[in-house]
Structure 1
Amino acid sequence: MWPGLVGKGDGPDQEPPISLEKMLDLTAAAEVNGRKFDGIDYFLFLPHTDPEASDDDLKAIADLIQSKGFNVGSLVAPVWPGTIGDSAMGDKEQTDKFLSAVKMACRVAGIFNEHGVRKYGVIRIDSAEFGVEKWREDPQANTKKIAETFREAAKIAADHGERLAAEGEICWAGMHSWKDMLDLLEAVGMPETLGFQADLAHTYLYLMGYNAPEHALLKDGYTEDEFYAAYEKMTDKLRPWTIDFHVAQNDGEVHGAGSHDKTGKHCPADDPNGKLDIVKCAGYWLKDAEQRGIKHICWDGCMFPNATLEDPKTWNTILDTMIKVDAAHGG
């Protein structure tokens, strides 16, 4: 559901958010050869969800989602400044806010689980530290700080029977390259509770070393053989940690909207400038997926223009692509 919210707002250069009910209706309308979407992943912030919603309010949201024929899978904790969270790399006041957002997400997860609308999935987080400049002032100490915050968040999640997935994007400090992401996961050292969420659009830019040239695995002008050799190297390192997966496309560019910094640009699945064979690339991440507890795959249209999101073709094209991924690699 977050493509209806991320990068949206009421600023002069922002498009308005798309309501939860509208996003549900767009999802429900998609159909390919008789198959429809099974459920949604859900962003826990306004205007879709009030972080202070009562139990009854949250049960009403669960009823609405279920009435459309959907389960809820993974949840996105509102860990960023401007929501209820703050930087995982910040001072105690900031990290306490970060942890409060994780607690809030675990509370909602528990209500959804008890309701029955949610039976699987993780809670997504990131470092909530925009950009890498501050992190670069002392990479070792700052990664250690993020890891300490993540470890406390993982303890909270474990107490609620949940798992956290850290999504690697080039805009998030300490998570902005495949190597820095791996170092952070290993520093946390709680693989049973905190793992990795792989997004095809974001991880393409990991290969190119967009915000970490020292960790680039490819250079412009690469051959197909060079691409898949590099892709295998990256996925072999991060796949053992991967517990959630996003189908997406990237054209090699970055994109930002509203308050969201520039990160891997999400493109329609059939974008002619797309760099990825989605079905083939997904296979590198989904080997042994069931052993890592992955129960579903999700698509991400983060910061798609509203006109793209409101076009039924967008949804049918991604559904068709996901069906192909499932047929090739599903359990």
Structure 2
Amino acid sequence: MANAFPKLHNAAWPGMVGKGGTEPGADPVISQDRMIELTANASVDGVTFDGIDLFLSLPHTDLDSTDDDLKKLAEKVGSKGLVIGSLVAPIWGGGGAFGTEEDRKNYLSALTKSCAIGKKLNDIGIRKYGIIRIDTANSPANFAKDPIENQKRNIATIKEAARIAESFGEKLAIEGEICWGGMHGWKSLLELLEGVGHPQTVGIQADMAHTLLFMLGYNAEEDALVPKGFNWEKDAFDKGYKALTDKLRPWVKDFHVAQNDATAFGSGSHDKTGRHCPVDDKNGKLDIPYHAGFWLRDNNKQHIDIKHMCWDGCMFPNSAMEQPETWNKILGAMNAVREKHGWN
């Protein structure tokens, strides 16, 4: 019998992240309606996407959406046979979690509005699982100017964010990505999580593309979990990847299936981070179903603190995203993960 969990979701934000820039050749934003349509149309051997995860920012979803706006959103998603899962809180635009008092106030205001939207979508019935995604919203370079004080500010801000989330019945997942100050290496990420001290509420979003660079020590050489001279030998790769996932798996609140060629890439205003590659990219380093199991299984037991997993195709060119075959291949890979590691 086919596994029912985790549910398979696509993400809407790849239609926005790195898009709409003013530089020559920049891809335009892909509308939320189009991202929903591309998601709903994908199908492989009778398997379809179960839902979509959303970015709470215009031109997709207004953070100040009215109740009527959210009802219309729910109707639009539901009419395609999909549900809504995780939501990305738009906490950028200032100094973030370790910025000024005004920066931190704005950060928490955006978080509060995001949690309120999550609860309303739950009440409508279109959302039954998922988290609110956050990060520190400031760069490793700025963090490095005063790492001890800045980490204290990160911890204080996200502790308050945890209390806000709990008041709405929400959970928070800090994006496991090297481009955010104070969590740019796995050691600093664990320091942040342990300092916040709300493990039932605050964890990580583990993205297979982004987290791979933690293992390599890309922004924190002292965190490398592979030997010097490492050249993707399978044994050394698996040993390093297991060490990384064993450290971070207990904190996973949200999981993204992805492929990575082990290079870093940024687009528009987005700092460099793990590159998302097509499922079948010839330079991809991950055996997707196999390496997903490092996250989803602990000593051969399912890690079931998630109800769904998502594909994140950020910074894919629009020419690829507009091709139905792109989404069919992604869906096929995600279903292979579920069949290998899922549950009923």
TM-score for both structures, normalised by structure 1: 0.96
Corresponding residue for 1:27? 39
How big is the shift at 1:210?
0.8
* Structure 1 letter corresponding to 2:211: T
Find 2:120's aligned residue among 111, 114, 126: 111
Matched, 1:229 2:259: no
Amino acid of the structure 2 residue aligned with 1:217: L
Q: Deviation digits for residues 160-204 of structure 1, max 9, x if unmatched?
A: 000000011111101111111111111111001000110000111
Q: Contact 2:53/2:84 (CA < 8 Å) preserved in 1?
A: yes
User: For residues 202-213 of structure 1, what are the structure 2 equivalents within 5 Å?
Assistant: 202-213=210-221
**Closer/same/farther in 2, CA of residues 52 and 86 from structure 1, 3 Å limit:** farther
Q: What is the deviation of 1:322?
A: 0.4
**CA positional deviation for 1:302:** 0.7
Alignment check: 8 A CA contact 2:297 2:303 kept = no
Contact conserved, 1:122 with 1:163, CA < 8 A, in 2?
Answer: yes
Deviations along 1:182-230, one digit per CA (max 9) or x if unpaired, are 1111111100100011000011111111111111112431421111111
Aligned residue for 2:342? Answer: 330
- Structure 2 length-normalised TM: 0.92
Residue aligned with 1:257, SS: coil
Letter in 2 for 1:12: E
Q: Secondary structure at the match of 1:271?
A: coil
- From 165, 184, 188, the counterpart of 1:176: 184
Q: CA deviation at 1:243?
A: 1.1
Partner residue of 2:62?
50
For 1:132-183, what per-residue CA distance to the aligned partner results, in whole angstroms no more than 9, with x for missing partners? 1221122222112111111100100000000000011111101111111111
**Quick check: 1:59–1:111 contact (8 Å CA) kept in 2?**
no
Asked if the contact 1:205–1:264 (Cα under 8 Å) also holds between the matched residues in 2, the reply is yes
1:306 aligns with 2:314: no
Aligned counterparts of 1:152 and 1:292: Cα–Cα separation in 2: 27
Match of 2:204 in 1: 196
SS in 2 for 1:75: strand
**Partners of 1:324 and 1:292 in 2: CA distance:** 17
Unaligned runs of 5+ in 2: 1-11
Give me the identity figure in percent.
54
Does structure 2 conserve the Cα–Cα contact (< 8 Å) formed by 1:86 and 1:97? no
| Aligned residue number for residue 6 of structure 2 | none
For each residue in 1:22-66, what CA deviation from the matched residue of structure 2 results, as whole angstroms up to 9, or x when unmatched? Answer: 111111111000110000011110101112221101111111011
Name the CA distance, whole Å, in 1 between partners of 2:23 and 2:287. 36
Q: 1:9 maps to what in 2?
A: 20
Per-residue deviation, 1:293:
2.6
Alignment equivalent of 1:102, drawn from 102, 111, 116: 111
Deviation string for 1:228-274 (max 9, x for gaps)?
11111111110000111000011011111111111111001111100
Q: 1:146 to 1:223 in 2, by over 3 A?
A: same
Structure with higher RCO (Cα < 8 A, 6+ apart): 2
**Off by >6 Å, runs of 4+ in structure 1:** none
Pair 86,60 (structure 1): closer, same or farther in 2 beyond 3 Å: farther
Aligned with 2:288 (options 267, 270, 278):
278
Q: What is the Cα deviation at residue 10 of structure 1?
A: 4.4
Give the alignment's Cα RMSD to 1 decimal.
Answer: 1.3
Q: Distance in 2 between matches of 1:291 and 1:7?
A: 32
Paired residue for 2:327, among 309, 315, 321?
315
Matched, 1:40 2:52: yes
Aligned length in residues: 327
> How far apart, in 2, do the equivalents of 1:237 and 1:10 lie?
37
What is the distance in 1 between the residues matched to 2:200 and 2:309? 19
**Greater mean alpha carbon deviation, residues 212-221 or residues 248-257:** 212-221
Q: Take 1:287 and 1:99, find their aligned partners in 2: how far apart are those partners?
A: 34
Alignment of 1:165 with 2:173, yes or no, is yes
Task: Confirm or deny: 8 A CA contact 2:98 2:136 kept in the other structure.
Answer: yes
Q: Any idea what SS the aligned residue of 2:191 has?
A: helix
